[in-house]
Amino acid sequence: MIVVTGAAGFIASCLVGRLNQDNFNDIVVVDNFSVAKKEDNLKGKHIKEYVDRENFFEWLDEHYEEVEFIFHLGARTDTTEFNKDVFDLLNLNYSKQMWNACAEYQIPLVYASSAATYGSGTLGYDDNEEIIPLLKPLNPYGDSKNDFDIWALQQTAKPFFWAGLKFFNVYGPNEYHKGKMASVIFHAYNQIKERGSMKLFRSHNPEYADGEQMRDFVYVKDVVDVCMFLMHHRKNSGIYNLGSGKARTFMALALNTFEAMGVEANIEFMDTPENLRDNYQYFTEANMQKLRSIGYDKPFYTLEEGVKDYVQNYLMEGKYY
């Protein structure tokens, strides 16, 4: 039996689909299932049981002997939310409770951290655990993820295997429900479909031309493949970057979206909103050497491959993974 939290969300629902592909069908999904627009993410998947996140730890106390692995991907992920209490409740304290339960029952655990922990990137993007206490995230979401990473590294009681994954800019199917927090590719597709053009943020940094801001965009299919690898690997516990390892520009992302849709490129620029400007990242790139060093050798989707697959096989078809 495998537990996936945040299961109705973007990455976790793709993971459930990926587990099903490998014939793992005894899956317990944990979430707040009251959000109707997330329901399609789990439709048609093989699921053993639905457990509300409020009731999960009581459920686990009864069923821990049957649980083989936990993927804790549930979190509040809104980077524009500034109520620290929300993040303390869902991202920090709930995760501590999950860790302690996995340590007590010796259940292996993979949990979602975030590249938001790196802040402006002044200390680089290396998943060196020694620098984690020195990182300065740019928003309460990033703080909550870094606070948990710091706490996890300080624990003497721990699951026999655990891994924290610093997700970079993940894109792909099953993010239809995410609204403003969906990937730029999702928004680009919808803008191009509606009006034949799309808007990117103008650069407010003299070192970067408009559209040349860079991010490490990682396709969700790679993310779930890494999760599968760790589920089978179960050694080399620690915190790992999970990006493509290659920064690409927003311009390249936009042009690939137009090409995948068969539409002539038409890109406009708009000012980055003032409330985002001071905390805007102009460059992120995951150093992926640590994950490679423990044996993950599968190549990552290039931006070209990922955008084409996402646009043509999911967005244009209205399909889910």
> Catalytic: which of 111, 118, 141, 219?
141
- Report, at the CATH architecture level, how domain 2-171+218-244+284-301 is classified: 3-Layer(aba) Sandwich (3.40)
Neighbours of 222 (CB within 10 A): 19
Dist CA 155 CA 30 (whole Å): 25
At 292 the three-state DSSP class reads helix
Band the pLDDT of 172: cuts 50, 70, 90: very high
Dist CA 138 CA 79 (whole Å): 9
Question: 73 among the known binding-site residues?
Answer: yes
Question: 79-83, 148-152, 194-198, 246-250: lowest mean pLDDT where?
Answer: 79-83
Neighbours of 67 (CB within 10 A): 19
Q: What is the mean pLDDT of residues 187-214?
A: 95
Question: 10 among the known binding-site residues?
Answer: yes
Q: What is the pLDDT of residue 82?
A: 64
Per DSSP, 77 falls in state: -
> Catalytic: which of 45, 96, 178, 308?
178
Q: What is the pLDDT of residue 181?
A: 86
pLDDT at residue 79 greater than cutoff 60: no
Is 141 considered catalytic here? yes
Question: 310 among the known binding-site residues?
Answer: no
Dist CA 70 CA 31 (whole Å): 13
Question: 74 among the known binding-site residues?
Answer: yes
Please write the tens of the pLDDT for every residue from 4-61.
999 999 999 999 999 999 999 999 999 999 888 899 999 999 999 999 999 999 999 9
Taking each helix axis from N to C end, the angle separating 250-261 and 303-310, rounded to the nearest 10 degrees, works out to: 40
Please, are residues 45 and 14 in contact by the beta-carbon 8 Å criterion? no
Q: What is the pLDDT of residue 35?
A: 84
Residue of 86 and 254 predicted with greater confidence: 254
Please write the tens of the pLDDT for every residue from 301-314.
999 999 999 999 99
Q: What is the pLDDT of residue 78?
A: 61
Q: What is the pLDDT of residue 180?
A: 87
Torsion of CA 80, 127, 75, 56, to 10 degrees: -170
Dist CA 133 CA 155 (whole Å): 14
* Pure H helices in 22-171: 56-63, 84-87, 94-105, 140-154
> 167 Cβ partners below 8 Å, 6+ apart?
11, 112, 113, 114, 115, 218, 223, 242, 243
Please write the tens of the pLDDT for every residue from 84-99.
766 766 778 899 999 9
pLDDT at residue 283 greater than cutoff 60: yes
